[in-house]
Amino acid sequence: MLHRPRKRFGQNFLVDQQVIDEIIAAISPQTDHHVVEIGPGFGALTTQLIRSVKKLDVVEIDRDLVETLKQQFVSEKLTIHAADALRFDFSALGRNIRIVGNLPYNISTPLLFHISQFSDQIADMHFMLQKEVVERMVGMPSSPQYGRLSVMLQYRFHMEHVFTVPATAFRPMPRIESAIVRMLPIPRSDLHVRDEKIFARIVAAAFSQRRKTLRNSLQEFMKENDYAMLGIDSGLRAENLSVTDYVNIANHLAA
């Protein structure tokens, strides 16, 4: 049966075999690895992953594609979860999992934040995302790409833009380029924020008005003497601060 891509699920299916091979090479799946694939679609990556690993879980929201996958793959290695990845409990799959997937463009940011909650259980992640999103994820301070997403993810992960994927690698062909990003969780012992809710509020407030100085965007939280104690210039903008600066502000307020 011909499957028509559904806009509400952000479906663009990877069809370029060379790109598929490059992604698998970047992931480098081994026989003792437990891999979790988000949005397998027609199984472009699934087909190669299942040959290499001891256990593969896939999370697919589209019920029609779930039935297609059940017919296409008959293997004790494979477990198919008919579920929304935005609500899926990845901790139920155990520890040291490797997560991969072609993430839907329309929910990529909230999905990344959701998955970040399970970083203690994750060995690494390889995702295909809109190139612009990947550039924001790995963006450096004082660059146009640097923002809330950069700070929140760089606090928890080491990240690398692995390579760019052309729009021609997909059907239907999107209007933008994609990119592969590698994400390695930072050990819990190296995360020094005392209160992560305060940290998230500070970062969100700072970048909600990124053209304003910190003096204005964080006036609800910080006074001039607070900046002086931290050695931070209140005349800077949100994009000028490092991840460590935001950690220091959050910990100062938590104390």
Write down the pTM of the prediction: 0.92
Asked if pLDDT for residue 98 goes beyond 60, the answer is yes
Mean pLDDT of 110-115: 97
- Residue-wise pLDDT for 133-142, tens only, equals 999 999 999 9
Residues 6+ apart with CB under 8 A from 152: 113, 116, 200, 203
Q: What pLDDT sits at residue 1?
A: 42
Asked if pLDDT for residue 11 goes beyond 80, the answer is no
Picking from 66, 96, 101, the residue whose alpha carbon sits closest to that of residue 80 is 66
Residues 6+ apart with CB under 8 A from 108: 129, 130, 133
Residues 243, 114: Cα–Cα separation, whole Å: 20
Architecture of 7-188 per CATH? 3-Layer(aba) Sandwich (3.40)
Q: What three-state secondary structure class fits 222?
A: coil
**157 falls in which pLDDT band (50, 70, 90)?**
very high
In whole numbers, what is the pLDDT of the chain averaged over residues?
A: 93
Q: Topology of domain 196-254, per CATH?
A: Helicase, Ruva Protein; domain 3 (1.10.8)
Exposed/middle/buried for residue 77 (C-beta within 10 Å: 0-12, 13-18, 19+):
middle
Residues 155, 146: Cα–Cα separation, whole Å: 13
- Residue-wise pLDDT for 189-240, tens only, equals 999 999 999 999 999 999 998 899 999 999 999 999 999 999 999 999 999 9
Domain boundaries, the chain: 7-188, 196-254
Exposed/middle/buried for residue 73 (C-beta within 10 Å: 0-12, 13-18, 19+):
middle
- Residue-wise pLDDT for 13-69, tens only, equals 899 999 999 999 999 999 999 999 999 988 999 999 999 999 999 999 999 999 999
Structure token pair of residue 237: 């903008």
Residues 103, 19: Cα–Cα separation, whole Å: 16
